[in-house]
Chain A
Amino acid sequence: MADKRLGRSLGKFFDERFLLSDLSAFAKKKTVPEHKHSFWYFFGGISLFLVGLQIATGLLLLLHYVPSIDGAHESIQVIMSQVKFGWLIRSVHSWSANILIGVLFVHMFSTYFLKAYRKPRELTWMSGFFLLILFMAFGFSGYLLPWNELSYFATRVGTDIAGSLPLIGGWLKELILGGPDVSQATLSRFFWFHVAVLPVVALAVIGVHIVLVQTLGMSKPIGIKETKDVPFFPDFIYKDALGWTLILVLIGVVCVFLPWEVGTKADPLAPTPLGIKPEWYFTFMFTTLKLIPAHVLSIEGEQLAILGFLAGGLFWLLVPFLDRRAAREKRSPAFTWVGVFVAAYIVVMTVITYAVKKL
């Protein structure tokens, strides 16, 4: 009896301070449209779950990781071989980071093809696109941290690409590297960026994205008339939790059978190994740069490709404002075909990277 009274008092205490009854009322009232394409909604929830895993495992890795060129690789070895469950924590961190990027791509393209970016969800789309860029930056900066041969040379290749940007290339490369080449300064910068700057920015953008999703609700695809609304809580949450559980099983299996490798310690004096390539989600850009002719109409090929990607990214970001038909709830096949082309291009270029030995 006294317990119940104490519980009620505590509940009231927090309710008055955090407005919990308002939140609870909102959660009870919130619904999600259900139709034949509802399956694609779950990728947003899975992304959020994977971000949570990233934060939890990343914080644990920070306990043992040493961000110096003399200690980084050794500390990863210690984590993988001596720290209790260190192998699991690091493998979950690395595998879930890669799965997260894949899920984000799926989430983005499903949103694009369902035209969920149309008014009033332009900012939801834009914040989502920024999140993809931010998580790719997470991937790029995190890849160098183990200071192994592959990550060292892939960073060198990646920053060389940034260096070939017109006008600002040289300055940008030096800013990223903290000097003329990949060194301790680079590792310190990447570590700072990976564990301090990006998390703060990403959490802020995730916050904006979630607030927008919650306040504006989920979009119904154009032309879908037969829909019904299901409560967000608990119906949708249960389905989300089912997806998270299955993803967790998948991560557990890959971590046990394919723990993330430590690799050979980076040797800056060694020659660049043959066939060095960046992480898979950058390979479509990397292969484009490799395949493009040295000069296209007297413009340097690499620069043209980079400018093309920048222009493409800008188009992708602004697509809610460009697709006027979708904004008027009309089908926009031209934008659908653009999306098909972009998705096919990314898949084909990625496959070429791994299938063609001598690029």
Chain B
Amino acid sequence: MKRQTIAPLLVLLGLGLPAAAAAQGKSCLDCHVQLEDELKAPATAFSQDVHGQFGLGCQDCHGGNPASDDVDKAKDKTFKGVPKRDRIPEFCGGCHADAAKMRGFNPSLRIDQLDQYWTSRHGQRLKAGDTKVAVCTDCHGVHGIQTAKFPKSMTFPWNIPQTCGRCHADQTLMASYNLPAGQLEDYKASVHARALVEKKDLSAPTCNDCHGNHGAFPPEAGSVGGVCRQCHPSAGELFAKSPHKKAFVEIEAGECEACHGNHKIDRPTNALIGSAEGSACVQCHEPGSKGLAAAAELRTLLDAFESGTAAAENLLNLADRKGVEVSEVRFKLQDVHTTLVSAKNLTHGLDVGELRITIGDGEKALAEVDLAGQSALAEARSRLRGLIVATFCLVLVAIALAFKVRRLKTAKNGPQR
């Protein structure tokens, strides 16, 4: 009897569900979630969307009346539908460029993205009628938009190369703009990508750190130095005082780029300078020139210091393997490494005298490390000698005891035959 009463009630409740959802103002999601493919995608993705987390609903961007469960009534005169691609920046900018609207959600968020976008190469081409260029949704996603602080977001630092690469690594697309498409692969091979992706160092630069984000534009030869100096100010200052500065301006060479490259920036080694083939210096300096001789001298000084540092490190490793505690000396070696980094950086200033002074200081510290390393090895040898002597004595004692035990046994049992 009871079951008979409950069953129709459950049916009624089930039928009443869309109406209840409409009353709560989410009829868009309830209908779209029952649709298929591209019509269903917005409803499923929106649960992860930052706008949803701030309490915004479909109608806040697309208009319409989600309180109505009738499709025609829901799509009332305020309904905007899907914006055309060339209208997307304005569509998003409707809120994101409006300080009064943004204040209610995130007052610290910048509101100049739209203005910046119009200054970017993307924005300029969009204005000129090219709808293939990136708009907001290409980099941020559509209905599953997440903040740049969220590691799975398309705009989180270590996801940015892939986000930009979706277009910039597309050879067909890039060919239509007469642009190369190898930047992503080049970047992946760079020291910056290794720091960002392998070491998870979020301070390492990704695409937008050099090109800008909403106002993305390739840096001109004259501004490359400024871009790199954001992270490498000391190298920039030294370069600015060097004779190279004037020369680079004259030949319109990109300051840092001329020697280090752009997207595929390798870990700089001593091989980058000097008169040998493969160095950056031979690109401009003639064989036998004064510049190349100075480069060769810099290289000789650095090579000698670097090999001395490596030898000292090997010495400490050897002592460590032999069981001698050398962690304190390693602190000193760390100072030597720091001096080596400073010395390498000094090459940007091309001042051989200053480099000699720095390396001279480093070599004093290196000599201390070497001495400590040698003394650690001597300690290891002395320990081994001590062990041999002690073991010899103990084995003699053991043999004597064994004989004594045997003699006692023989004395008790009588001589064995």
- On A, residues with C-beta under 8 Å from B are 77, 80-81, 87-88, 230, 234-235, 238-239, 241-242, 245-246, 248-249, 252-253, 256-259, 262
Report the separation of the CA atoms of residues A249 and B412 in the bound assembly, to the nearest whole angstrom: 30
Closest B residue, CB atoms, query A240: B401
List chain A residues, Cβ under 8 A from B323. Answer: 87, 256-259
B402 surroundings in chain A (CB, below 8 A): 242
B405 at the interface (CB under 8 A from A): yes
Selected contact of B387 from candidates A252, A258, A262, CB within 8 Å: A252
Could you tell me if A235 and B405 are in contact, using CB atoms closer than 8 angstroms?
A: yes
B376 CB to nearest chain A CB (Å): 9
Is B416 an interface residue, CB under 8 A from the partner?
A: no
* Complex Cα–Cα for A262 and B404 (A): 42
CB contacts (< 8 Å) of B395 on chain A: these are 249
Q: Is the CB of A253 within 8 A of B401?
A: no
Given A81-B326, A259-B325, A252–B404 Cβ distance below 8 Å? no
A245 nearest CB across to chain B (Å):
4
Using a CB-CB cutoff of 8 Å, which residues 233-265 of chain B contact chain A? none
Determine the distance from Cα of A253 to Cα of B325 in the docked complex, in whole angstroms: 17
Q: List 10 A-B contacts (CB under 8 A).
A: A81-B325, A230-B412, A238-B408, A239-B405, A241-B401, A242-B401, A245-B394, A256-B323, A256-B387, A257-B323
Task: List, in ascending order, chain B residues with CB within 8 A of A81's CB.
Answer: 324-328
Query: Would you call B293 an interface residue if the criterion is a C-beta within 8 Å of the partner chain's C-beta atoms?
Result: no
Q: Evaluate contact between B391 and A249: CB separation under 8 angstroms.
A: yes
For A77, list chain B residues within 8 Å (CB): 325, 327-328
* Complexed CA–CA distance, A77 and B327 (Å): 8
Inter-chain contact B327/A252, CB cutoff 8 Å? no
Nearest B residue to A259 via CB reads B323
Residues of A within 8 A of B397 (CB): 245
The reply on B384 being an interface residue by CB < 8 A is yes
Would you call A256 and B383 a contact (CB within 8 A)?
yes
Q: Which 3 pairs show the lowest CB-CB distances between chains A and B?
A: A80-B325, A81-B325, A259-B323
Q: Does B398 contact A (CB under 8 A)?
A: yes
Return the CB mask of B374-410 against A: 1 if under 8 Å, else 0. 0000000001101100110011011001101100110
Contact pick for B394, options A238, A248, A257, A262, CB 8 Å = A248
Q: Which of B390, B391, B398, B412 contacts A242 (CB 8 A)?
A: B398
One of B327, B401, B409 near A245 (C-beta < 8 A): B401
Expressed in whole angstroms, the minimum distance between the Cβ of B374 and any Cβ of chain A is: 15
Contact across chains for B325 and A238 when beta carbons are under 8 A apart: no
Give Cα A235–Cα B401 distance, bound, in whole angstroms: 10
A235 to B387, CA, bound (A): 29
**CB–CB B327/A235 < 8 A:** no
B405 touches A238 (CB 8 A): yes
User: With A and B bound together, what is the CA distance between A245 and B397 in angstroms?
Assistant: 7
A241 contacts across to B, CB distance below 8 A: 401
Binding site for A on B (CB under 8 A): 323-328, 383-384, 386-387, 390-391, 394-395, 397-398, 401-402, 404-405, 408-409, 412
Complex Cα distance A250/B401, Å? 17
Q: Which residue of B lies closest to A34 (CB)?
A: B409
A227 to chain B, nearest CB (A): 14
Chain A residues lying within 8 Å of B405, measured Cβ to Cβ, are 235, 238-239, 242
A164 to B394, CA, bound (A): 48
A159 to B28, CA, bound (A): 53
Question: Besides the contacts A246-B398, A248-B394, A252-B391, what 17 more A-B pairs have beta carbons closer than 8 Å?
Answer: A87-B383, A235-B405, A238-B401, A245-B394, A245-B401, A249-B391, A249-B395, A249-B398, A252-B387, A252-B394, A253-B387, A256-B323, A256-B383, A256-B386, A257-B323, A259-B323, A262-B325
Residue numbers in A under 8 Å from B408 (CB-CB): 234-235, 238
Contact of A262 among B327, B384, B401, B412 (CB under 8 A): B327
A27–chain B nearest beta-carbon distance, Å: 15
B-side contacts of A239, CB under 8 Å: 401, 405
**Closest A residue by C-beta to B398:** A245
A101 to B397, CA, bound (A): 26
Complex Cα spacing A111 to B401, Å? 26
Q: How far is the CB of B21 from chain A (nearest CB, A)?
A: 38
- Cα A241 to Cα B405 in complex, Å, equals 10
Task: Report the bound CA distance from A256 to B321 in whole Å.
Answer: 11
Chain B's closest residue to A241 (CB) is B401
Bound-complex Cα distance A241 to B404 (A): 11
Which B residues lie within 8 Å of A256 (CB)?
A: 323, 383-384, 386-387
Known contacts A249-B391, A249-B395, A252-B394; A238 and B328 CB within 8 A of each other: no
Collect the chain A residues with CB atoms within 8 Å of residue B390's CB.
252
A258 CB contacts on chain B under 8 angstroms? 323
CA distance A199 to B326 in the complex (A): 33
CB distance from B199 to the nearest CB of A (A): 15
For B386, the closest partner residue in chain A by CB is A256
Q: How long is the Cα–Cα vector from A77 to B412 in the complex, in angstroms?
A: 54
Measured between alpha carbons, how far is A80 from B323 in the docked complex, in Å? Answer: 10
Closest Cβ neighbor of A260 among chain B residues = B323
- A242–B391 alpha-carbon span in the complex (Å): 14
Closest to A239 in B: B405
Complex Cα–Cα for A189 and B327 (A) = 28
Chain A's closest residue to B392 (CB) is A249
Would you give the shortest CB distance from B57 to chain A, in whole angstroms? Answer: 39
**Residues B325 and A87 in contact, CB atoms below 8 Å apart:** yes
A21 → chain B closest CB, angstroms:
24
Question: Which residues in B have their C-beta under 8 angstroms from that of A242?
Answer: 398, 401-402, 405
Q: Which of A88, A245, A253 has the most CB of B within 10 A?
A: A245
**Interfacial chain A residues near B394, Cβ < 8 Å:** 245, 248-249, 252
> Within 8 Å CB of B326, what residues of A?
81
Chain B residues, CB < 8 A from A248: 394
For B324, the chain A residues whose CB sits under 8 A away are: 81, 87, 259
Q: With A and B bound together, what is the CA distance between A248 and B395 in angstroms?
A: 10
Contacts of A259 in B (CB 8 A): 323-325
